[in-house]
Structure 1
Amino acid sequence: MPVFTLNAIRHAKARLRPQADMAHAERQNHARIGLSEVGLAATDYPLFLMKHAQTGRFTLCALFALEGERSWYMLGGGWQATYLPEALLRHPFFLAPPEDTDAVLGLAVEESSPRLHDREGDALFGADGQPTVTATRVADKLSRHRDDLDAAAAFTAALAAEEVIRPLSLRLRFADGRENQVEGLYGIGADALAGLPDAAVLRLHRAGHLHAAHVMMASANQLYRLQQLHNAGAGTALTELAFALRD
């Protein structure tokens, strides 16, 4: 969907309605999460790393599906999880590129979102053309989320520096006989983490990364939750799910 710079003239009449549902996230199979989200997100989602093809850097992600471009958590018209990642709640707003100096409060917005309305909801701009408290709160929330994503980037960089990241081997088998080997996901090797020298363990602990690493590792069992959700809404059951980190 097209995203436009938030502008006091273009969006003078724009109002923000409450989040009615999570339909906007139905076609997302994963989302980046911030470091502070790890503990809460792990109660619902498997957390793994994805590697950027150009930079080689890892990003921390919550998985919503194991194949396809549709979230398996969207079932029966609702999102079947207790925690909603910040990346989903920010909709329909985004942080504009830093070079976009015309963006009010540094924001961009997806204008086609049903959350935007010209009569219902809280105004984004006052009669004087200045951003309202609602718009300011959105900007503050996105700014905090950006900082949290930066903290997650520091976390994944620390894991990479300690050489404990391992590729995930994930095989799916369906009731109709089809098989799929999922590629491109990475996790933290338990043996690699346990084998770190004391100085490295202390570094990770002092940075708050060691606890996050263990929570992330434990979240791998939420892959079975994804299997349950798939089987509750799909015509062909996912009968077997096998995963392990490759050393």
Structure 2
Amino acid sequence: MLEFELHKSLGIRASGDAERLFVQIVVGEFGSAAADYPILFAKRPDTGRFYAGALLRLQAGDDANLDERGRLRGYRPADLEREGFFVEQDRIVIDRAHPVFVEGGGSALFEIEGAQSETLQRVQRALGRLHAGLPATDDFIARLLERSLLEPIDIDLRFDDGTRFRLEDLYTVSADALADLPDAAVLAMFREGDLAACYTQIQSVRQIARMARLRNDRLAGA
């Protein structure tokens, strides 16, 4: 359990974002995440169940979306904000061995007098968003599958330095299948909020082309 007396000198290091390529998000994050990243769906290798995620970069070492501290410049998904933190019986618990934690450094979790720091407050908000959003996102994906709206995405990029990036085992909402739905199904999706989420996800895929252009521009300037 996270407690002031035990963890008053504990902090969070600021460079963990550079290590993640694809991060799980919930449907309530689609609008914010789509402004910076492509949103795609993947299957968990252990269960085969779908989940939604944001593609933060095209390959390891690509730092276009990172600032000088190694943090994302744009939207920071809740799953990144809460790395190392979990909820158990309505209490915050931590994985003390997680590399995000540093003793006596980083961004402190507590103020000197024991109050929660702004960093810890952000973690709490992220945990709350995930706690509420994961079941809602599972339900959203189940409705997409019921209507056969997910399809594999096929993207193969070649860069000016000869390297290649291929998206495999990822899925997107099919715009064609969405357009072919009967009116009653479209109305139901509108009322459920699914229609807006679908179009947001479809539009976000354009971020892949933007990310590819940025990478080629950096290669040209190197």
Alignment CA distance shift 1:159-1:42 (3 Å): same
| More deviation, 164-173/61-70 | 61-70
- Residue 74 of structure 1 and its aligned partner are, at CA, apart by 2.3
Instruction: Give the helix-richer structure, 1 or 2.
Output: 2
1:146 aligns with 2:135: no
Shift of 1:179: 3.5
Go from structure 1 to structure 2 and tell me whether the alpha carbon gap of 1:81 and 1:120 turns closer, same or farther (over 3 Å shift).
closer
Letter paired with 1:174: F
Aligned length: 219
Which residue identity lines up with residue 14 of structure 1 in the other structure?
Answer: S
Partner Cα separation in structure 2 for residue 169 and residue 119 of structure 1: 40
Matched with 1:60 is 52
Structure with greater strand share of residues:
1
Q: Which has the larger radius of gyration?
A: 1
Q: Deviations over 1:81-125 (max 9, x none)?
A: 43222222224x4215x5xx6xx8132144543665379845389
* In structure 1, distance between residues paired with 2:73 and 2:67: 10
Return the match for 2:100 from 79, 88, 113.
Answer: 113
Letter of the structure 2 residue corresponding to residue 165 of structure 1: L
Q: 1:203 aligns with which of 188, 194, 197?
A: 188
Contact 2:11/2:101 (<8 A) preserved: no
After TM superposition, the score normalised by the length of structure 2 is: 0.79
Cα distance, 1:175–1:236 mapped onto 2, change above 3 Å: farther
- Partner Cα separation in structure 2 for residue 119 and residue 88 of structure 1: 16
Structure 2 runs not aligned, ≥5 long: none
**Cα distance in 2 between the residues matched to 1:201 and 1:80:** 36
**Matched position secondary structure for 1:175:** coil
Tell me if the contact between 1:12 and 1:125 (Cα under 8 Å) persists in the aligned partners. no
Alignment partner for residue 95 of structure 1, among 86, 92, 105? 86
2: distance between equivalents of 1:195 and 1:16? 51
1:16/1:120 contact within 8 Å kept = yes
Distance between the aligned counterparts of 1:220 and 1:43, measured in 2? 10
Structure 2 counterpart of 1:155, from 125, 130, 140: 140
- 2:44–2:50 contact (8 Å) kept in structure 1: yes
- Gap change, CA 1:41 and 1:119, over 3 Å in 2: closer
**Deviating more after overlay: 180-189 vs 139-148:** 139-148
Q: What's 1:123 paired with? A: 110
Offset, 1:15? 4.3
> Residue 36 of structure 1: CA displacement?
1.5
1:23-75 CA distances to partner (integer Å, 9 max, x unpaired)? 11101001111211111111111111111233222111110122347665226
- Contact persistence 1:95–1:108 (CA under 8 A): yes
- For structure 1, the 5+ residue unaligned runs are 238-247
Query: Contact 2:79–2:126 at 8 Å: present in 1 too?
Result: no
Distance 1:49 1:81 in 2: 23
- 8 Å CA contact 1:29, 1:70 repeated in 2: no
For the residues of structure 1 that align with 2:85 and 2:41, how far apart are their CA atoms?
Answer: 22
> How far apart in 2 are the matches of 1:118 and 1:176?
39
